[in-house]
Amino acid sequence: MTDVLPPFLPGPTGIGTSAARLASRLATADPEPEDPVAEADPAYAHRPWGDGSAPPLYCPVTERVDDVLAAEVDDRLAAWMGECGFSEEETGQVRKTRFGRLVTLAHPDCDDVDRLLVSAKLNAAWWAADDLWADDTALGAVSEELPAKLTLAMAAMDPVPPAGEFTPGLDEALGNDRVLVALRSAVEYLTGYASPAQVQRVCYSTFAMFVSWTAYAAWRHTDRRPPAWEYLAARQHDSFYTSMTLIDVLGGYELTANVFYGPPVRSAAIQAGTASVLVNDLHSVTKDLADESPPCNMVLQIAADRGCSVREATEITVGLHNDLVRDFQAAHRELQAVPAPELHRFLRGLRAWMGGGFEWHATNPRYR
């Protein structure tokens, strides 16, 4: 496979296009455009969600539902979390949330439980950091403490070389917090399946995600409500893009760094990750509103910006999501011209992740 995509390929078209459409939709709530060719693609559907009262999400279909395989991944994940130091109550909660099911839905080209666990462990560890440190006040999240914890998380994931008398203190800290233990163990496990470039891709997309978390913490701490555009800019680096960096690892192949980071592929992956995380925001509104200090959420930011109802803000968010998916779909179609089997597999993996992520959110007790 060539390392650099041919120059005739289009550069990023998606986020800019969607942002322009969002701007006009924020002003007018336009009906969605229809492209008969795209709409006829059997890989996509208008999928009802929630209680069915909001407009459907235009989303890839779910390629695989295998609850036997998912249960096996969930069992092994719960055992691993116990080894990392999570309490029985916490592992019970993780069992209910079923990250094993998430990754089984999201990676339909992987049947191997050991490989599925690469993604299950990392997603569970990311979510543990997000819930326990960043988002959930009732679970002890304290905004002022978050940046220092995230700094240690980087040291746990991307071990620093020995530094003499300063190393034992760090080692002790890394061993004393179950979230740090989980992050370190998940990356160690990843290295058994991934190339160094893939491992660092996972680490650095996580670190970019952490920067967004610190912005949320600062906004919370200072009681500043960011406008929707600013929240979205943060959310685009705090999205399921991070989870999607594992698509080729689970598939047992490698998209080389220059293709992975080439503008058209990077743009398509960010579109897919952002669309998937908007599905999360749509499902999380009630949960987020229940927090004594509600975390940022695209629906809530739009409602506050425009002084409109949650229902109207939901419709606008659905529209943005659907535009992103349509932009992804168009980019995917254009990239079919590149003679690169791994690239096609990866793009199909992005599409499958969106379909699996939708299914998981739509059926998960965490969002009821």
Ligand X SMILES: CC(C)=CCC/C(C)=C(/C)COP(=O)(O)OP(=O)(O)O
> Interface with ligand X by CB under 6 A: which residues?
123, 126-127, 130, 135, 209, 238-240, 242-243, 277, 280, 284
- Closer of 104 and 335 to ligand X (Cβ): 104
- Closer of 130 and 177 to ligand X (Cβ): 130
- Cβ at position 189, least distance to ligand X in Å: 16
Q: At a CB cut-off of 8 Å and minimum separation 6, what does 315 contact?
A: 29, 54, 55
User: What's the rounded Cα separation, in Å, for the pair 161 and 183?
Assistant: 18
Length of the chain: 368
- Cβ at position 194, least distance to ligand X in Å: 16
Residue nearest to ligand X (CB): 284
- Cβ at position 360, least distance to ligand X in Å: 10
Considering only CA atoms, give the Rg of the chain. 20
- Cβ at position 251, least distance to ligand X in Å: 18
Q: What is the DSSP letter of 140?
A: T
- Cβ at position 237, least distance to ligand X in Å: 9
* Alpha-carbon distances of 66 from 70, 102, 132, 244, 259, rounded to whole Å: 6, 11, 30, 20, 31
CA atoms within 13 A on the CB side of 354: 31
CA atoms within 13 A on the CB side of 323: 24
- Closer of 255 and 277 to ligand X (Cβ): 277
- Closer of 78 and 103 to ligand X (Cβ): 103
23 CB neighbour count, 10 Å cutoff = 11
- Closer of 146 and 340 to ligand X (Cβ): 146
Q: At a CB cut-off of 8 Å and minimum separation 6, what does 6 contact?
A: 338
- Cβ at position 170, least distance to ligand X in Å: 24
Going by C-alpha positions, the residue among 6, 2, 5, 16 that lies closest to residue 267 is 16
Q: Which amino acid is at 255?
A: L
- Closer of 15 and 296 to ligand X (Cβ): 296
- Burial label, 249 (beta-carbon count in 10 A; 0-12, 13-18, 19+): buried
- Closer of 58 and 99 to ligand X (Cβ): 99
- Closer of 91 and 212 to ligand X (Cβ): 212
- Cβ at position 24, least distance to ligand X in Å: 26
337 CB neighbour count, 10 Å cutoff = 10
- Cβ at position 300, least distance to ligand X in Å: 11
